């Protein structure tokens, strides 16, 4: 049977195992793509060379895999997973299939803050502050959207409409800053705005992993409210949920996840939109399994895009965000047409 029931004194929980089997399938696909990414590149590696890493492989092979390709792969998976989880949360909170960090203005807030830092503060203070600027911009944009949408409470439709308006305004700020920036700043900012994990190292991976743990633990505690957020406000209130408080907390978590992911990998577009929809198509069970599937699909999207960007156009190493956007734009148009019908 696909379902199990756990009962203890004072505790009862029904477990549906079918969605978790689908999770296992996506994990296997992600591992296969990861193995292909590690094996291919400017220096192709065979299966024997990869397996020899566990037995103390040649120094050059260890450097290529463990210092160049593997940190880039892991960072891409973390960035994609956090953006996807943020998108899943936004879609739950706003009960809108088109909700995602980039469409609602959170990505625009992170981009505007990061580009402003690169233009005016990077020379005197150093580039180390770009991630902090991006996180502050993302959370600040989410707070601004929530404040502007407030009118004796906040409804999902007001959040969506306000977010679209704030996104357009912050996009204009980014363009204005780039127009008056030096050429070197503009070029580096454009790569960052597209989304890239080029030059990733283990310090970046460790920092983002720490942020991911800090943000996912509260979500695990609040998962029941994240599931109930998709219900009508009156029904959720009848079930004992403090709707406005929980919505604000989940919105802050979603914005923070998007902010730290963008700070580490740049403004990858459409990952937070596509991955939750793929997760829902694989599993209709709303809950932890669907959130995990969203994370896996987001990781798979970014890792696959970076694999293509790094290998298909050799000797060029293109930003992975180009290929995610190439997939995301038609997907977004398809969603618009479906919602219109």
Q: Does 12 score more than 60 pLDDT? A: no
Question: Which residues are registered as beta bridge partners of 4?
Answer: 15
pLDDT in tens, 301-332: 999 999 999 998 888 888 898 899 888 878 87
Q: Is 95 exposed, middle or buried (0-12, 13-18, 19+ CB in 10 A)?
A: middle
- Taking a C-beta distance cutoff of 8 angstroms, is the pair 309, 252 a contact? no
pLDDT in tens, 256-274: 899 889 888 888 888 998 9
Number of structural domains (the chain) is 1
In a domain, 7, yes or no: no
333 found inside a domain: yes
User: Which of the pair, 28 or 314, is modelled with greater confidence?
Assistant: 28
Question: CA torsion, points 38, 44, 50, 56, in degrees to nearest 10?
Answer: -120
pLDDT tens for 172-188 read: 998 888 888 776 667 77
How big, in percent rounded to 5, are the helix, strand and coil portions of the chain? 75, 5, 20
On whether residue 10 sits in a domain, the answer given is: no
136, part of any domain: yes
Q: Give dist(CA 93, CA 108) in Å, integer.
A: 19
CATH of the domain at 108: 1.10.3470.10
pLDDT at residue 6 tops 70: no
Query: How far, in Å, CA of 339 to CA of 341, rounded?
Result: 5
| Strand residue runs (E) in the chain | 3-8, 11-16
Residue 39's Cβ-count burial label (10 Å; 0-12, 13-18, 19+) is middle
- The pLDDT, as a whole number, for residue 76 is 94
Q: Which range marks the domain in which residue 249 is found?
A: 19-60+68-340
3-state secondary structure of 151: coil
**pLDDT classification of 83: cutoffs 50, 70, 90:** very high
**270 inside domain:** yes
Residue 16 has pLDDT above 70, yes or no: no
Please check whether residue 220 lies inside any domain of the structure.
yes
Distance of CA 128 to the CA centre of its chain: 21
Cβ(153)–Cβ(159) below 8 Å: no
Per the CB < 8 A criterion, the answer to whether 258 and 274 are in contact is no
Give domain status of residue 246, yes or no: yes
- Decide if 2 is inside a domain: no
């Amino acid at each position: 049977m696909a379902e199990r029931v756990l009962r203890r004194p004072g505790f009862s929980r029904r477990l549906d195992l079918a969605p978790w089997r689908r999770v296992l399938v996506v994990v296997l696909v992600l591992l296969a793509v990861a193995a292909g990414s590690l094996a291919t590149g400017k220096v192709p590696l065979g299966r024997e060379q990869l397996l020899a890493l566990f037995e103390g492989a040649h120094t050059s092979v260890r450097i290529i895999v463990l210092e160049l390709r593997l940190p880039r792969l892991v960072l891409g998976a973390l960035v994609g997973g956090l953006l996807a989880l943020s998108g899943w949360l936004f879609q739950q909170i706003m009960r809108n299939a088109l909700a995602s960090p980039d469409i609602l203005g959170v990505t625009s807030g992170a981009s505007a803050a990061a580009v402003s830092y690169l233009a005016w503060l990077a020379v005197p203070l150093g580039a180390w502050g770009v991630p902090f600027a991006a996180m502050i911009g993302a959370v600040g944009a989410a707070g601004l959207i929530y404040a502007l949408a407030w009118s004796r409470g906040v409804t999902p439709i007001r959040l969506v409409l306000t977010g679209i308006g704030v996104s357009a305004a912050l996009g204009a700020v980014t363009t204005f800053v780039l127009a008056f920036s030096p050429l070197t700043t503009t070029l580096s900012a454009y790569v960052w705005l597209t989304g890239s994990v080029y030059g990733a190292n283990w310090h970046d991976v460790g920092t983002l992993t720490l942020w991911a743990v800090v943000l996912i633990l509260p979500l695990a505690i609040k998962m029941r409210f994240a599931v109930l957020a998709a219900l009508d406000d009156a029904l959720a209130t009848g079930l004992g949920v403090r709707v406005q408080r929980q919505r604000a907390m989940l919105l802050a978590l979603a914005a923070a996840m998007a902010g730290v992911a963008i700070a580490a990998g740049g403004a990858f577009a459409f990952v937070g939109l596509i991955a939750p929809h793929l997760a829902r198509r694989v599993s209709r069970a709303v809950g932890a399994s669907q959130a995990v599937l969203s994370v896996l699909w987001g990781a798979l999207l970014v890792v696959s895009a970076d694999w293509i960007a790094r290998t298909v156009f050799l000797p060029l190493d293109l930003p992975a965000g180009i290929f995610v956007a190439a997939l995301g734009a038609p997907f977004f148009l398809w969603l618009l047409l479906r919602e219109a019908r």
